[in-house]
Amino acid sequence: MNKVLPVMESCSSCPIRHRAVCARCDEDELEQLNQIKFYKTYTAGQTIAMRGDALDVVASVVAGTATLERAIEDGRTQLVGLLLPSDFIGRPGRDTLQYDVTAVTDVTLCCFQRKPFESLLIRIPHVQERLLEMALDELDAARDWMLLLGRKTAREKIASFLMLIAKRTVHPDGQVLGDLSRIELPISREAMANFLGLTIETVSRQFTGLRKDGVIELDGNRSVRIPDLETLLLESGDDSDGGPLI
């Protein structure tokens, strides 16, 4: 757990700075936020919260990966969100959770009791504004995912997922963490299947297909090298126009 410390360090100066919630906070406001924050850690596989639970905290992911999922009784499961460092969990103004939250690796959360956090929002309106912006970003992401789930082929789904992970392999402050052409998959084949609306077998087959076609190279199960990001983008079925790749 040592390697997460630097991130926690940065977190301690402003608890949810990762997504620039507090970009405009002054010293006094930061101090107020710091007073109500605390850290909590979970081990891989542990349930963080379940659907229907009372939601008395909001939190931001400091380290590790968690999933947000929705299931039907017969076992079918859909991953509706992938929570990577800097992502936000829980909502002011909501008192129950709609989804199951699970730690897929060891996870460190920076938490706030919801009630004090909400009162703070009233005093610091630009944080409220920022929360709306974050919610709208998530809404856009969810809608893009709807296009993927409803209209893309298995191969395009895998390519899109790899692009997503590549894009997220950057530090919150904008710096690229490592070589983009080598990414570490944060989740298992099963979680990917549930994220993409596929089965593990199909996920596996598509990985082999992309490997045989030279689009990706596999190094173990969790490490993927991407010789050419542009080729992968082409495979993802997304519009290639407009804007830089990352």
Partner DNA sequence: CTCTCGCATTGACACAGATCAACGGAGGGT
Partner DNA sequence: ACCCTCCGTTGATCTGTGTCAATGCGAGAG
Task: Tell whether residue 213 is a contact of a second copy (CB under 8 A).
Answer: no
210/39 Cα distance (integer angstroms): 40
Binding mask of the shown chain, residues 23 to 42, with x at each position contacting a second copy by CB under 8 A: --------------------
Q: Which is nearer to a second copy, 112 or 145 (CB)?
A: 145
Out of a second copy, DNA, none, which partner does residue 72 contact, by CB within 5 to 8 A per kind? a second copy
Q: Which is nearer to DNA, 41 or 78 (CB)?
A: 78
Order of strands, edge to edge, in the sheet holding 57-63?
37-42, 107-113, 57-63, 88-89
Q: Which of 5, 44, 50, 142 lies at the binding interface for a second copy (CB under 8 A)? A: 142
Q: Which of 153, 184, 223, 240 lies at the binding interface for DNA (CB under 7 A)? A: 153
Question: DSSP for 7-66?
Answer: HHHHHHHSTTGGGTTTTT--HHHHHHHHHTEEEEEE-TT-EEE-TT-B--EEEEEEES-E
Which H or E run contains 67?
A: strand 66-71
106/65 Cα distance (integer angstroms): 7
Footprint (CB under 8 A) of a second copy, residues 146-205: 146-147, 149-152, 194, 196-197
Q: Which is nearer to DNA, 9 or 74 (CB)?
A: 74
Task: Tell whether residue 200 is a contact of DNA (CB under 7 A).
Answer: yes
The one segment of 10-18, 86-94, 150-158, 166-174 that binds DNA by CB under 7 A:
150-158
18/85 Cα distance (integer angstroms): 8
Task: Extract the tokens encoding 96.
Answer: 């129950």
User: Could you tell me if 106 and 65 are in contact, meaning their C-beta atoms sit under 8 angstroms apart?
Assistant: no
Q: Which of 5, 23, 136, 245 lies at the binding interface for a second copy (CB under 8 A)? A: 136
Q: Which residues contact 170 (CB under 8 A, 6 or more apart)?
A: 176, 177, 246
User: Could you tell me if 36 and 110 are in contact, meaning their C-beta atoms sit under 8 angstroms apart?
Assistant: no
Footprint (CB under 7 A) of DNA, residues 62-91: none
Q: Which of 43, 98, 221, 240 lies at the binding interface for DNA (CB under 7 A)? A: 221
Binding mask of the shown chain, residues 155 to 174, with x at each position contacting DNA by CB under 7 A: x-------------------
Note the residues at the interface with DNA (CB under 7 A): 153-155, 188-190, 197-205, 207-208, 218, 220-222
